[in-house]
Amino acid sequence: MRRNPALLSTIGDYKEKALVYSGWQVGDVGILVSVDIKTRPTSWRLYDTPPLENLSRKPRERGWCGSTNGVSITAHGKKRVTRLTPISFDIDEDGVQRPDSFVAWLEPTDADADADAKLLGDETA
């Protein structure tokens, strides 16, 4: 199932909080991706599949994927949703209020933490 990407808000450190839409649950794992546009602040998104490299079209979980027309994409590894807090609601056809966007609290997966340690030169990872 392909969910809508979660867009990270500016409410805190990108490795801790994300703005996500319905379909994400506590325990879900996604790939954190930064989208840099020359004329705008960086946005952060959580995808359930890795972004594709620009030229080879291979999936990439970590590292720069390429840029086109001033938009640069970088993958930052796997992150797990640890908590969801509803921040906006929609009213369904029965008149019941249902949350449709949340603040998601993120943490690195074990594999992602090991990859970070190796990048930083930690020999124990």
pLDDT digits (tens, 9 = 90+) for 75-119: 988 989 888 888 888 888 888 888 877 777 888 887 766 666 665
b (16+ CB within 10 A) / e for 101-110: bbbbbbebee
Q: What distance in Å separates the CA atoms of residue 123 and residue 125, rounded to the nearest whole number?
A: 6
Q: How far is CA 35 from the centre of its chain?
A: 10
Q: What is the mean pLDDT of residues 65-74?
A: 92
Instruction: Determine the Cα–Cα distance for residues 9 and 112; give it in Å rounded to an integer.
Output: 22
The tokens for 54 are 């620009």
Average pLDDT in the 1-22 region?
52
Flag whether pLDDT at 17 surpasses 70: no
* CA–CA dist 67, 36 (Å, integer): 9
Angle at 95 between CA 93 and CA 99, to 5 degrees: 90
What's the confidence (pLDDT) of residue 7? Answer: 47
